[in-house]
């Protein structure tokens, strides 16, 4: 078998085909299975199909089946049995079909789209659905399937797993979640996406998709081309956006937390930041999930009132009142040849959360990180009663505040998370 990474926007047809087949198969699962477990498992695999790595058995056990981190997959075959059942149902769904087919390879937990070769002697071609610049529309289609069509199922599943822990019942009393829990308006979860520019060669043929820091929208591209007319034939707008896997999974994890803190247990909607209008910002409670460097692009006063700002280097964050600079650093294993890592072999990332009133009595929440490790950790932190309790003791009952956390990593794992700065903002000026 050959593994292919799509490299051109021509893959949009594959993206749509994947989404269509996933939606059709999900309908079959819903209609033929009394238990929703296989549906939940399939939804999870669809959501993770844009991840650069396949999910691990323990991750599926914890997320889909509500197991603890101490669950022993070698002694319990729950995940393997359900994956086998799902694979068999896919085989039945694909029976008699040719061409591109959905498949879960044996021994793997990744949902793939395979294309049968014309000859039996040829290898089958595996087309991985992953979050790369060339597959942006597919990424959003996959997210749409997982979040729009199955948001209620996901929320019920994850909320059920979380509700087994009494901690979630007290989250609504924390300074962070109290405004959302008590507010009559259901929040929107805004997932940060990236705008991609289509680059063409001198022959006019499309070469690649690229993310340019100075071009964040079609409007930005128009302005750029007016200033650089020599680029007219090289850069094109196809309204393509990328959703990072960490942001997508973060949105999925926040969804049940929101349901758990609200008295009505209502499910929030998830939308891309690129589709948020000013009217939406003015009239809704919003929970932003994005990288810190992208927060400046939000059409909200998030960074306008913050005392933190991105540094000149993408890996730096500055605390304006103190003048301190916090720099992301990789762990020792990724810094061979550096003299300073012997004394401190850990990696450092920085997470940021904030909450403040919006322009019309609504509430804005920001969950962010410099890199993926901190962003993922902040998503977990806002669901941790103990961590939020530490923050509440620093900010009291403030309605507007921000906090910076240091996330220490080692061997690709989170070693610890420490609150560095907790700052009350003047709500009247937000």
Residue 182's pLDDT is what?
85
Contact 297, 216 (CB under 8 A): yes
State the distance between the two ends of the chain, measured CA to CA, in whole angstroms. Answer: 56
- Strands in 179-298 per DSSP E: 188-191, 194-200, 206-210, 235-242, 269-272, 286-291
108: nearest Cα among 72, 80, 77, 131: 80
Element (H, E) at 423: strand 413-424
User: Angle at Cα 209 formed by Cα 205 and Cα 212, nearest 5°?
Assistant: 125
Q: What is the pLDDT of residue 157?
A: 43
pLDDT along the chain (430 residues), means of 10: 37 76 84 75 85 84 80 83 87 79 86 61 36 41 43 44 50 89 88 85 77 79 89 85 84 89 85 83 88 67 73 85 91 51 76 89 92 93 93 92 94 86 79
**What is the Cα–Cα distance from 87 to 77, expressed in whole angstroms?**
15
Strands, sheet with 194-200, edge to edge from the N-terminal-most edge strand: 206-210, 194-200, 235-242
Collect all residues with Cβ–Cβ distance below 8 Å to 217 and sequence separation of at least 6: 195, 274
Domain ranges across the chain? 2-130, 151-192+244-429, 194-242
| Among candidate residues 256, 265, 1, the one with its CA nearest the CA of residue 108 | 1
CA atoms of 179 and 356, how far apart (whole Å): 9
> In the prediction, which pLDDT does 33 show?
64
Tell me how many degrees the CA angle 126-131-134 measures, rounded to the nearest 5: 80
CB 367 within 8 A of CB 405: no
Q: In what order do the strands lie in the sheet with 112-115?
A: 2-4, 125-127, 112-115, 100-103
Q: Does domain 2-130 have CATH number 1.10.3470?
A: no
DSSP bridge partners of 350: 406
Please choose, from the candidates 122, 126, 133, the residue with its C-alpha nearest in 3D space to the C-alpha of residue 106.
126
């Amino acid at each position: 078998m050959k593994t292919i990474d799509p490299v051109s926007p021509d893959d949009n047809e594959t993206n749509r085909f994947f989404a269509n087949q996933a939606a059709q198969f999900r309908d079959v699962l819903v209609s033929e299975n009394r238990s929703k477990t296989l549906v939940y498992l399939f939804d999870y695999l669809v959501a993770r199909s844009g991840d650069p790595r396949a999910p691990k058995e323990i991750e599926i056990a914890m997320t889909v089946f509500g197991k603890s981190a101490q669950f022993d997959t070698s002694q319990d075959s729950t995940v393997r049995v359900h994956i086998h059942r799902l694979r068999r149902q896919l085989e039945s769904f694909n029976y008699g079909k040719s061409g591109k087919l959905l498949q879960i390879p044996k021994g793997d937990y990744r949902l793939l789209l395979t294309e049968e070769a014309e000859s039996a002697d040829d290898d089958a071609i595996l087309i991985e659905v992953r979050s790369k610049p060339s597959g942006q529309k597919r990424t959003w289609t996959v997210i749409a399937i997982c979040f729009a069509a199955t948001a209620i199922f996901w929320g019920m599943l994850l909320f059920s797993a979380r509700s087994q822990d009494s901690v979630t019942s007290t989250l609504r009393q924390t300074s962070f979640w109290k405004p959302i829990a008590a507010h009559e308006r259901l929040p929107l979860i805004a997932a940060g996406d990236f705008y991609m520019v289509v680059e063409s060669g001198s022959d006019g043929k499309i070469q690649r998709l690229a993310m340019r820091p100075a071009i964040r929208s079609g409007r930005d591209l128009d302005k750029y081309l007016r200033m650089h007319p020599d680029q007219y034939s090289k850069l094109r707008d196809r309204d393509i956006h990328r959703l990072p896997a960490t942001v997508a999974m973060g949105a999925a994890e926040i969804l049940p937390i929101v349901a758990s803190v609200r008295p009505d247990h209502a499910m929030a909607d998830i939308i891309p930041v690129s589709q948020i209008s000013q009217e939406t910002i003015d009239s809704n409670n919003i929970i932003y999930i994005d990288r810190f460097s992208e927060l400046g692009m939000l059409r909200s006063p998030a960074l306008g009132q913050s005392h933190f700002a991105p540094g000149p280097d993408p890996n730096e964050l500055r605390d304006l009142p103190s003048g301190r600079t916090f720099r992301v650093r990789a762990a020792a294993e990724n810094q061979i040849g550096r003299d300073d890592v012997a004394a401190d072999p850990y990696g450092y990332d920085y997470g940021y959360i904030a909450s403040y009133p919006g322009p019309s009595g609504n509430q804005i929440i920001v969950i962010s990180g410099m890199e993926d490790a901190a962003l993922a950790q902040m998503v977990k932190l806002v669901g941790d009663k103990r961590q939020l309790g530490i923050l509440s003791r620093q900010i009291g009952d403030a309605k507007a505040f921000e906090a910076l956390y240091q996330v220490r990593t080692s061997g690709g794992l989170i070693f610890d998370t420490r609150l560095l700065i907790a700052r009350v903002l003047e709500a009247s000026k937000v």
